[in-house]
Structure 1
């Protein structure tokens, strides 16, 4: 639609996840109007993230060194491992300040349609960690969608072979502030099956 570098920029922006054609165009034209120093900062940030960011050798989370901040923190409970799909999930859980254990990032979820099977995920590394002494609980915190459920089910079958290991799944149900009429059947069903007693 546009010529040369402008269209190339829009095309490249459109390849980013969650950025549709209109958003790509809007961002592209915004970048044309900003100060060159702002562009330089963006380019530097993109280069640094590719050059300097690694993945933690223990859990697979993003890290600047061999270990991420969580794995490097000796105050964290190494007996609790929360299994997530992506590093962004670690950030979401950390914002709650409720979990004081360690993480394991799978690098995705089982999705036969996308050609992602168990061998493409960091499942072997998880099993190796669990085999080490001291791990008492694995919390499955995969996404509550078809792929996340398939991944959790697969992991439950594998983890049953570890004696004395407690395997739990994050509760799911109605969001705070939500309306019942807008809840889908699966969410509402889980809210009923996960109901708990209320103290008087």
Structure 2
């Protein structure tokens, strides 16, 4: 950025690479790092390096873990006959916060996006099919995002799993709790109608 001394500009450039950070936020963080005591900066850098070195993919579901298997896959109280397929580890965390799901997960690490060069081979789809080979899985819940890529991924997986001896379901989409109809977009309203439930005879 024009006007920044080179070392500060380097910090700014690194923050700018992070998703969800605009130029102003990246600049604010860069100044904040420079204002921090050196010991705090060293601790932050060491924490990031340790996390990068110690975090790996669960050998079963490909969620993030610091051991061979994640806590969810190791938990015998979870329903291992039900697999919820999500795009990213943070999606599994969001499902966990709902406290309404007791099965296990499978993390694809992306979604189908031909324009970005992401096809089935770039996702953990072969590993999902391998998990179904044991015969223990009864249901696969497709919980990819409700956007063009997420819907395409769910449709592809549904077609792929059609001949598997499992129930394939898709999470419902619609209006969020507390949402006003006037602020909802057409797709959300259409999905809310599509996924309506009967409340009387």
TM range (shorter): over 0.9
1:70 to 72, 76, 89: 72
Query: TM-score w.r.t. structure 1 length?
Result: 0.97
Query: Which residue matches 1:168?
Result: 169
Task: Find the aligned partners of 2:182 and 2:98 in 1 and give their Cα distance.
Answer: 27
Task: Find the aligned partners of 2:134 and 2:108 in 1 and give their Cα distance.
Answer: 18
| SS of residue paired to 2:111 | coil
Task: Find the aligned partners of 1:102 and 1:78 in 2 and give their Cα distance.
Answer: 6
Query: Where does 1:1-200 land on structure 2 (aligned, <5 Å)?
Result: 1=2, 2-163=4-165, 165-198=166-199
User: Deviation of residue 46 (structure 1)?
Assistant: 0.6
Task: Find the aligned partners of 1:110 and 1:16 in 2 and give their Cα distance.
Answer: 22
Task: Find the aligned partners of 1:22 and 1:93 in 2 and give their Cα distance.
Answer: 31
User: Deviation of residue 33 (structure 1)?
Assistant: 1.1
Task: Find the aligned partners of 1:97 and 1:54 in 2 and give their Cα distance.
Answer: 25
Task: Find the aligned partners of 1:154 and 1:174 in 2 and give their Cα distance.
Answer: 25
Query: TM-score w.r.t. structure 2 length?
Result: 0.96
Runs of 4+ in 1 over 4 A off after TM superposition: none
Query: Cα RMSD (Å) of the superposition?
Result: 1.1
Q: Unpaired runs of 5+ in structure 1?
A: none
Task: Find the aligned partners of 2:40 and 2:189 in 1 and give their Cα distance.
Answer: 46
